[in-house]
């Protein structure tokens, strides 16, 4: 296996009018599972195609292991077939006239491997993916999930240095997605494989990744471990993209009162000191406060918790817990609810530990539209 480094990658179309990838840099360690995450059109597939050697970027460099495979500046371009990379496309194509065994063996036959070696590899990959009993069937005799596993298997048999996977679970139903996702992670660990995996599904990214690279409009918004992106989102876009249900966002004004500095968010007022920012906020600054639904509770965690009086709008049962939608002073609050059953219209008191509140500064001192609360697509501003 090998590491992958992408430096200052730039790809544009329509003579520069559409910028698909805008000076993107990241490194994937040997044996690391990296997820490229972001909304549709943010450049995920384009980056993957550059690494695979299917696209020549306008600028930048790609290094696999210790070999420069693409460099626009030095005019280096290694052909895709010489990069020892396996790519699984979302629209995986299996050969319909070949059996599963023949489909898996095909890339190895192309490499001219001895028959015995091919048989061993096919058998071992089939066992890993739990498709041994399907080896003599043709793709038309398989379910979608089984076909997806065969497509993955065809990449795995090749034992490449790097796997590139473009939304490989896109065609599976919810249950199969979870199952194949688990298998994929297990195989990646077992093989100590370097994988770069594209998805727009943040849950998939959080569960699979060692490192997430979150993109918007061809630019990196934040890269880091799932925990870093969840706990320390560097701007409002990251904050609202990561986490389900999404973070609650409410605008607040910083103001002095009774000898202390407060943020007044309408629904509640909180002392700046209690937010544990490690820095002060100037009076009259506008900020956006973010609270994860999981950080709102029906019971206080400490005496300093903020209390929010609200009215139940709807309780969505999720089995072992529920998602509570409540209203307070015209503000919609979403909370993960583990308490008793609540009826619409019922009064409820919610508690928030102020140290769990995320604080974001707003552009030009404020004027962020109300509609923005809870929505993605926000301008990036540093989190405090």
Ligand X SMILES: Nc1ncnc2c1ncn2[C@@H]1O[C@H](COP(=O)(O)OP(=O)(O)OP(=O)(O)O)[C@@H](O)[C@H]1O
Residues that bind ligand X (CB under 6 A): 13, 18, 20, 38, 40-46, 200
- By the 8 A CB rule, do 76 and 65 touch? no
Q: Is the dihedral of CA 170, 171, 173, 176 positive or negative?
A: negative
Nearest residue (CB) to Mg ion, 7 versus 200: 200
Give the shortest CB-94-to-Mg ion separation in angstroms: 20
What distances in angstroms separate CA 219 from CA 130, 348, 366, one per listed residue?
Answer: 38, 42, 24
* Residue 200 binds which entry of ligand X, Mg ion, none, CB below 5-8 Å type-dependent: ligand X
Answer yes or no whether residue 199 interacts with Mg ion by CB under 5 A: no
* Residue 311 binds which entry of ligand X, Mg ion, none, CB below 5-8 Å type-dependent: none
DSSP-derived pairing of the beta strands 67-71 and 76-77: antiparallel
Give the shortest CB-200-to-Mg ion separation in angstroms: 8
Q: Which residue is nearest to Mg ion (CB)?
A: 45
Give the shortest CB-165-to-Mg ion separation in angstroms: 11
Nearest to 293 by CA among 356, 342, 226: 356
Nearest residue (CB) to Mg ion, 167 versus 305: 167
Nearest residue (CB) to ligand X, 52 versus 250: 52
Nearest residue (CB) to ligand X, 43 versus 60: 43
C-alpha–C-alpha distance, residues 7 and 96, integer Å: 39
* Residue 42 binds which entry of ligand X, Mg ion, none, CB below 5-8 Å type-dependent: ligand X
Nearest residue (CB) to ligand X, 43 versus 160: 43
Nearest residue (CB) to ligand X, 58 versus 339: 58
Nearest residue (CB) to ligand X, 40 versus 190: 40
* Residue 95 binds which entry of ligand X, Mg ion, none, CB below 5-8 Å type-dependent: none
For residue 244, what are its two tokens?
């389900």
Give the shortest CB-206-to-ligand X separation in angstroms: 17
Q: Which stretch binds Mg ion (CB under 5 A): 24-32, 37-45, 72-80, 124-132?
A: 37-45
Binding Mg ion (rule: CB under 5 A), the pick from 42, 45, 69, 195 is 45
Give the shortest CB-221-to-ligand X separation in angstroms: 13
Nearest to 359 by CA among 260, 227, 234: 234
Number of residues that bind Mg ion (CB under 5 A): 1
Nearest to 172 by CA among 157, 162, 158, 182: 182
* Ordered DSSP codes for 183-240: HHHHHHHHHT-EEEEEES-HHHHHHH-SEEEEEETTEEEEEE-HHHHHHS-SSHHHHH
C-alpha–C-alpha distance, residues 170 and 185, integer Å: 16
How many other C-beta atoms can be found within 10 angstroms of the C-beta atom of residue 56?
11
Nearest residue (CB) to Mg ion, 197 versus 268: 197
Give the shortest CB-110-to-Mg ion separation in angstroms: 26
C-alpha–C-alpha distance, residues 209 and 340, integer Å: 34
* Residue 321 binds which entry of ligand X, Mg ion, none, CB below 5-8 Å type-dependent: none
Give the shortest CB-205-to-Mg ion separation in angstroms: 14
The 3 state secondary structure assigned to 68-114 is EEEECCCCEECCHHHCCEEEECCCCCCCCCCCHHHHHHHHHHHCCCC
Nearest to 127 by CA among 107, 104, 106: 104
Residues at the site binding Mg ion, with contacts judged by CB under 5 A: 45
């Amino acid at each position: 296996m090998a590491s992958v480094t992408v430096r200052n990658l730039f790809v544009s179309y329509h003579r520069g009018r559409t910028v698909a990838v805008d000076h993107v840099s990241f490194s994937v360690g040997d044996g690391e599972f990296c997820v490229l995450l972001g909304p549709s059109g943010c450049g995920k597939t384009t980056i993957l195609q550059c690494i695979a050697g299917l696209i020549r970027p306008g600028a930048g460099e790609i290094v696999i292991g210790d070999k420069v495979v693409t460099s626009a500046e030095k005019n280096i371009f290694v052909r895709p077939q010489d990069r020892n990379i396996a790519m699984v496309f979302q629209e995986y194509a299996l050969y319909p006239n070949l059996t599963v065994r023949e489909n898996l063996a095909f890339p190895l036959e192309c490499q001219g491997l001895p028959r015995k070696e091919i048989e061993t590899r096919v058998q071992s990959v089939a066992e890993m993916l739990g498709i041994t009993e399907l080896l003599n069937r043709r793709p038309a005799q398989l379910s979608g999930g089984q076909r997806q596993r065969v497509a993955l298997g065809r990449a795995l048999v090749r034992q490449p240095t790097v796997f590139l996977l473009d939304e490989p679970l896109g065609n599976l139903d919810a249950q199969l997605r979870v199952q194949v996702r688990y298998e994929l992670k297990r195989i990646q660990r077992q093989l100590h494989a370097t994988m770069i995996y594209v998805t727009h599904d943040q849950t998939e990214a959080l569960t699979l990744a060692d490192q997430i690279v979150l993109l918007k409009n061809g630019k990196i918004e934040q890269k880091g471990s799932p925990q870093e992106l969840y706990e320390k989102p560097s701007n409002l876009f990251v904050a609202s993209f990561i986490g389900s249900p999404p973070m609650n966002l409410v605008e607040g004004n910083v103001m002095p009162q009774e000898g202390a500095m407060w943020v007044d968010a309408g629904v509640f007022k909180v002392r700046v000191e209690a937010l544990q920012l490690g820095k002060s906020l100037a009076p009259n600054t506008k900020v956006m406060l973010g609270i994860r639904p999981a950080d709102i509770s029906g019971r206080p965690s400490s005496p300093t918790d903020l209390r929010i009086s609200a009215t139940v709008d709807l309780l969505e049962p999720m089995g072992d817990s529920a998602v509570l939608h409540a209203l307070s002073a015209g503000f919609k609050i979403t909370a993960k609810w583990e308490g008793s059953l609540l009826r619409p219209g019922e009064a409820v008191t919610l508690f928030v530990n102020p140290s769990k509140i995320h604080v974001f500064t707003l552009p030009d001192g404020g004027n962020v539209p109300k509609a923005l609360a809870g929505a993605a697509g926000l301008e990036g501003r540093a989190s405090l």
